[in-house]
A and B are shown apart, each in its own frame.
Chain A
């Protein structure tokens, strides 16, 4: 009797030890890696926002709030608001093109559905810079769009299609359209067609059915798609640089310049924090609406 309880306790303690060992072996390496190469860098960035920039770059460890007051300078605030606007506009346009596209893909017969989906994703798997470069070729002074318009006699001299805010939006929409279509497709595909039939049978017009059945039920997909497009658009600095003409027009360019040109790490970190704050608010909004849906 006693012997069996003793061995039972030792089995249990051995089980506990092996569970702790399992945790160490499986969770240890990956978490250590991510703590050192992701969390510590993030903590460094957030910490820097409190300090002052050194005269020759670097950081002087004197606590100050000046980085945050500088953030409210109209000059920087304008860039932040402007980035939200450009990214928001790009998101809206991808939604307006992406929703009907996803809707029709979901209605295609089996084999065509796969082909249509792969065709949407395919450009996304090609080099990002090459895709941006393609637009420089298309839109530049002697480019294809201008020469086509000239040939048709619609214009007398080449239009300046490159290097403005509209070009940035085109680049963003082009780059991230697949990220909008995929979650929308997933949401629309899951929709029970009988619900729409029921709505139609009860006398609702197609527009009414869309507004009160289809759209509300696919709203989580809409929000996910918008998030997928907005997040990489908002922090982008390559598209504004290559298609927008290289000025600090979006917050991404501003951040890059603070770290690589101005060497003002504390203020650069403060801009990173502002960018992260906007994204966290959006993530929380999305999580909240997903829970309500």
Chain B
């Protein structure tokens, strides 16, 4: 008993450590004063200042364009690739190629793409970020759909083939519906990762088309203001809601199946 009570020390240290900065950020965002450090009474002023910030709004729009576009592309490419890797080949090399973008450090992928775009003399902008985000998005969709596919019941596909359906019909009417939850989960993952992605976007975007993380980066480098605290609080609220809703949904689907 004494031993396990001693274990509770690092346990609580972990949670206090993880949440203290977040609580401080949120508290300071409702600050009436100018200082991001000293609380001088409650106000929503900084949220008003934030709403006026043109750069943030622009960054948010850019981020959404990149996230929606790359998720759509990655979902199609990743789903097809997962089916191909599980059902149409046994090559472990191809497997590794499909997994590589998820393992590769973002710095390496970002710089590789920077060099690649420069070599083929492509311009940089939202399109280059979108194509870059599709690379890791595809890997994550592939990974999630693959897991679902290896647990899927192959006898249904065999039955469909035996009954004379073409491979295309089998894929569209039998395989795809079975994979749907995996595809949705993979797409959500790709979308969330794209929204938050900084390093690859940093190397592949143009100065005129910053995504939201890049705008935040330049704000943080420029200095600490309560405006960033307000933005941080809103982003925290969105992420927390998404995570909790996702958690509820998976539990719901688990209890249904």
Residues in A lying within 8 Å of B, measured CB to CB: 18-19, 21-23, 25-31, 33-35, 37-42, 44-45, 48, 96-101, 103-105, 114, 118-123, 125-138, 140, 142-144, 147, 173-174, 177, 181, 206, 231-232, 234-238, 241-242, 252, 255-256, 259, 265, 268-269, 272, 275-276, 279, 283
Shortest CB-to-CB span from B33 to chain A, Å, is: 12
Complex contact A129–B18 (CB within 8 A): no
When A30-B80, A97-B13, A137-B36 are in contact, do A272 and B108 touch as well, CB less than 8 Å?
A: yes
CA distance A137 to B13 in the complex (A): 20
Min Cβ gap B82→A in Å is 8
Q: With contacts A26-B84, A27-B94, A127-B216 known, is A100 near B19, CB below 8 A? A: no
Please name the residue on chain A nearest to B168 by beta carbon. A25
Q: Kindly list chain B residues whose C-beta atoms are within 8 Å of the C-beta of A259.
A: 111, 114-115, 203
- Chain A residues lying within 8 Å of B11, measured Cβ to Cβ, are 100-101, 104-105
Of A30, A134, A276, the contact of B84 (CB 8 Å cutoff): A30
B257 within 8 A of A: no
Can you spell out 8 A-B residue pairs with CB atoms less than 8 angstroms apart? A37-B113, A42-B108, A100-B11, A101-B10, A104-B8, A125-B242, A259-B115, A275-B105
Chain A residue at minimal CB-CB distance from B226: A137
Contact of A133 among B20, B37, B228 (CB under 8 A): B228
Is A127 within 8 A of B235, CB to CB? yes
Contact of A38 among B109, B235, B236, B240 (CB under 8 A): B109
Which stretch, B48-56, B176-184, B191-199, touches the partner chain A?
A: B191-199
How far is the CB of A228 from the nearest CB of chain B, in Å?
10
Instruction: Tell me whether A38 and B100 are in contact in the complex, defined as CB-CB below 8 angstroms, given that A119-B15, A138-B24 are known contacts.
Output: yes
Residue B124 CB within 8 A of the other chain: no
Q: Does B154 reach chain A (CB closer than 8 Å)?
A: no
* A44 CA to B88 CA, complexed, in Å: 30
Given contacts A29-B80, A135-B21, contact A100 B7 (CB under 8 A): yes
Which residues of chain B have C-beta atoms less than 8 A from A133's C-beta? 25, 216, 220, 224, 228, 232
Residues in chain B near residue A33, CB distance under 8 A? 77, 134-135, 138
Contact of B105 among A96, A181, A235, A242 (CB under 8 A): A235
- List 8 A-B pairs, minimum CB-CB distance, nearest first: A26-B84, A30-B81, A41-B112, A134-B21, A27-B84, A41-B116, A235-B105, A100-B10
Residue in chain B with minimal CB distance to A237: B107
Minimal Cβ-Cβ distance residue in B for A251: B107
Q: Is B186 an interface residue (CB 8 A)?
A: no
Q: Which of B17-35 contact A (CB under 8 A)?
A: 17-22, 24-25, 28, 35
Chain A residues lying within 8 Å of B125, measured Cβ to Cβ, are: none
Given A123-B19, A144-B24, A231-B105, A25–B80 Cβ distance below 8 Å?
yes
* Chain A contacts for B83, CB-based, 8 A: 26
List residues of chain A with CB within 8 A of the CB of B87: 22, 26
Q: Encode B195-207 as 1/0 by CB contact (under 8 A) with A.
A: 0101100010000
Interface hub of B11, B87, B109, B135 (most chain A Cβ within 10 A): B11
Known: A26-B88, A132-B220, A265-B115. A37 touches B135 (CB 8 A): yes
Q: Determine if B37 and A143 form an interchain contact, defined as CB atoms under 8 angstroms apart.
A: yes
A245 smallest CB distance to B (angstroms):
12
- Whether A37 lies near B131 (C-beta < 8 A) is yes
Tell me which of A35, A137, A255 contacts B37 (CB under 8 A). A137
Residues of B within 8 A of A255 (CB): 107, 111
Residues of B within 8 A of A35 (CB): 97
Is B252 positioned at the interface, with any CB of A under 8 Å from its CB? no
B38 at the interface (CB under 8 A from A): yes
A38-B109, A140-B37, A236-B107 given. 19 additional CB < 8 A pairs? A22-B88, A26-B80, A27-B89, A27-B94, A29-B77, A34-B101, A34-B139, A37-B116, A37-B131, A41-B112, A42-B112, A103-B7, A104-B4, A104-B7, A119-B18, A137-B21, A174-B17, A237-B107, A241-B221
Q: Does B129 contact A (CB under 8 A)?
A: no
Closest partner residue, chain B, to A174 (CB atom): B17
A130's contact among B203, B216, B240, by CB below 8 Å, is which?
B216
Q: Give the one of A96, A143, A144, A265 with max B CB within 10 A.
A: A144
